[in-house]
Amino acid sequence: MRYVALGLLFIFTNIFPVHFPLLSAQDKTLNDPYLQSSPSPIPGPPGSTGSIGPSGEEGTTGPTGPIGPTGPYGGPTGPTGPSASVAYGELATVSTQSQSITGGAAAVKGLIFDTVGLSSDTSPNSTTNVITINTSGIYKVTLDLSIEAAGNRAWTFSIAKGITMQSKIACIVETNINEEGTASASGILSLTSGDEVSVYISVTGSGSTTLDVSKGNFNLVQIS
């Protein structure tokens, strides 16, 4: 029976051939659910930002940049200020001056200068041998004398403010017969306008002794 059926099938297919249509690639895709493309997915909302990570290592310092151009010039030069005023005064001995001094007595004002020297804002007087201050301040006072006196005596020369002798600005000179000595003293004084500055002299021993001053200079200069 099986052989009879196969024979009949062979005869039938040769007498009545069956034609099956060919499917295109598109038809295959449409009919095959596994080949059909899926729709595009809808993106979800973005996630939250993560925490900031640790800072990285500091980099090396870069090279120094070029120097920038010079800035514009400033404002105009201001007006010239007033000249600084420095007070000074001077008395000098040009010709030999002689003065009699009593030994062992109180010091007396020296009258040993015969010439007014340079001065500014002070009033030197060769008659009274006083330099009067016109501007208060700090002054440097200097005394230099070349002297000669009879006998063996010790002479003290002191700068005085008014009638007050300044012990810190003084010197002692010992003289012998026919020998010339030098007296020098200098120091700083705080002086007020109206103060009178002079030289006071005293000598040891007793009796009157003549002091000869051949050359001398007494001056003061304001330093502040």
Read off the tokens for 16. Answer: 């009545």
Burial of 205 (0-12, 13-18, 19+ CB in 10 A): middle
DSSP tag of 113: -
- Bridge partners of 133? 122
pLDDT the model gives residue 45: 83
Read off the tokens for 20. Answer: 């099956």
88-222 folds as Jelly Rolls (2.60.120)
User: What residue segments make up the domains of the chain, in order of their start?
Assistant: 88-222
Mark 102-121 as b/e (b = at least 16 C-beta within 10 Å): eeeeebebbbbbbebbebee
Do 181 and 141 meet the contact criterion of CB atoms below 8 Å apart? no
- Bridge partners of 23? none
Helix, strand, coil distribution of the chain in percent, nearest 5: 10, 45, 45
pLDDT the model gives residue 102: 97
pLDDT the model gives residue 79: 78
Compute the distance between CA of residue 16 and CA of residue 50 in angstroms, rounded to an integer: 75
In this structure, the dihedral spanned by the alpha carbons of residues 146, 110, 90 and 147, taken in order and rounded to 10 degrees, is: 0
Do 208 and 126 meet the contact criterion of CB atoms below 8 Å apart? no
pLDDT the model gives residue 143: 98
**How many C-beta atoms surround the C-beta of residue 143 within 10 A?**
23
pLDDT the model gives residue 20: 45
Low-confidence ranges of the chain (pLDDT < 70): 1-41, 81-84
